[in-house]
Amino acid sequence: VTPDKVDGVSYDLVIVANRLPVDRVENADGTRGWRTSPGGLVTAIEPVMRANHGVWIGWPGGTETDLEPFEHDGMSLAPMTMTPEEIEEFYEGFSNGTLWPLYHDVVGKPEYHREWWERYVSVNERFAEKAAGLAAKGATVWVHDYQLQLVPEMLRRIRPDLRIGFYLHIPFPPAELFQQLPWRRQLLEGLLGADLVGFQLPGGAQNFVRLVRQRVGHRTQSGTVFLPDGREVRAAAFPISIDAKGFEELARKPAVEKRVEAIRTALGNPKKIFLGVDRLDYTKGIYARLRAFAELMGEGHIDVEDAVFVQVAVPSREQVEQYRILRDDIDRLVGRINGDHGRIGRPAIHYLHNSYPREEMAAFYRLADVMVVTPYRDGMNLVAKEYVATRYEDDGALVLSEFAGAADELRQAWLVNPYDINGMKAALLEAYRADDRETTRRMRAMRRQVTQHDVVAWAEAFMTSLTDLDGDGPHSTIV
């Protein structure tokens, strides 16, 4: 391994994720800089990185090739470059055209291409080598998500001294689906390079352990896999969360409150506002949700003078064909619904294909009387938790798919099966008509859950579990 250290330094904690926690920005003077991404993962991992002399390896997006390791906001970042072919075959191809739909209940059809797989192997190899070059002796490496499932095993081969954790942010599918994958065994073996494999829900961990037993033939007992060389791998659930306090503080800002009123006025002061916020992804159930709302209007249960639907769809993976098709479908549907049910100055659906800063999102959440989160399958869904965190007056109704990981914790939401349009219509109507006592009772319980189980608790639980596996080994202690 060629030493590849930031300023010749090696690190006790190495975070490896497909993306760096920063985005490219253009400064006023035309020079280019970086801005910390709005995601929750940075919030969780930043304190652990600071406390443990950590570095974050990831792709900053784009195809820049001359990127050197750098410091941003006190974090050490090591950028991975990506060629156009790697973006096409590793990121858009195998990660988002094969694994993403396969792991989400085949809601979209996964495509299996050997060239995509080969590129997935070579890019994972590059990430593993980079991590191997930056990790100090006995360091801890935390690898994230489905794009990098081969990294644990590749890394262990080069650096057997490391303690390796892996966390999957999306669902881990049942054996019946996973075994479609021509490279199923390689992926399982890739993950088995870790000491601890974390999932959103216990079901994911169980699926993994069962598959390892069936497909790799290792002995397993509850959440532990026993490898022939004597090593043990733990599989367990660590449901991810958000910076609940930070979101509530944001929502309480006078500037946000002012923005809420401005948006409400711009919408024409409807009595109630429904809200959907999603990456524009076919797993999110946006189409069915809007149809359900439109049918309620068509049947006279909801009048456009009384209620409107605001749908924020954040552009995502726009080069992938299934995402382009979805965009066209939603564009057409919104046009039709507004044509059928809108009036002058009063569309039924306010559709925004854009991404917004956290403050603007907090204003949207504060505005929403009914938050509608109806994915067909979702690892967790942090939007549901963000909504709850901003409702500091214990008001507002959450309609939530039972197939989102968040449904395990947010039991007091109006839970729906997104495949059942009539069921979804009934739940939307109930949430719309619910009285204050009912919404308060439900929201209070959900807020307790989200504030007590925030993202810092999540990161600590994973790190503690990883550290506790072999307390007196050669590893440095991670705090």
Nearer to ligand F6P, 40 or 396 (CB): 40
Rg of the chain over all Cα atoms, to the nearest angstrom: 23
Nearer to ligand F6P, 19 or 366 (CB): 19
CB of 317 to ligand F6P, least distance (A): 6
In one-letter notation, the amino acid at residue 318 is E
Per-residue binding letters, 401-420, with ligand F6P (x by CB under 6 A): --------------------
* 474, two tokens: 């050669």
Contact 476, 12 (CB under 8 A): yes
| Cα gap 422→62, rounded to integer Å | 43
CB of 125 to ligand F6P, least distance (A): 19
Any catalytic annotation for residue 369? no
Q: Within 145-204, which residues bind ligand F6P (CB under 6 A)?
A: 145, 169-170
The binder of ligand F6P chosen from 12, 13, 19, 48 (CB under 6 A): 19
Nearer to ligand F6P, 149 or 439 (CB): 149
Any catalytic annotation for residue 66? no
* 363, two tokens: 């204003």
Nearer to ligand F6P, 12 or 86 (CB): 86
CB of 39 to ligand F6P, least distance (A): 7
Q: Within 316-375, which residues bind ligand F6P (CB under 6 A)?
A: 316-317
Contact status: 377 vs ligand F6P (CB under 6 A):
no
- Catalytic position from the list 281, 378, 454, 475: 378
DSSP 245-283: HHHHHHHH-HHHHHHHHHHHHHTT--SEEEEEEEES-TT
Binding residues for ligand F6P, total number by CB under 6 A = 7
CB of 47 to ligand F6P, least distance (A): 20
* 155, two tokens: 């890394």
Nearer to ligand F6P, 317 or 442 (CB): 317
| Cα gap 471→468, rounded to integer Å | 5
CB of 153 to ligand F6P, least distance (A): 20
Q: How far is CA 370 from the centre of its chain?
A: 22
Minimal CB distance residue for ligand F6P:
169
- Catalytic position from the list 144, 169, 453, 475: 169
CB of 228 to ligand F6P, least distance (A): 32
Nearer to ligand F6P, 427 or 459 (CB): 459
| Cα gap 93→80, rounded to integer Å | 18
Nearer to ligand F6P, 10 or 316 (CB): 316
CB of 333 to ligand F6P, least distance (A): 23
Question: 407: which DSSP letter?
Answer: G
Q: Within 277-316, which residues bind ligand F6P (CB under 6 A)?
A: 316
Nearer to ligand F6P, 170 or 388 (CB): 170
CB of 172 to ligand F6P, least distance (A): 13
Which residues are annotated as catalytic? 169, 378
Binding positions for ligand F6P, rule: CB under 6 A = 18-19, 145, 169-170, 316-317
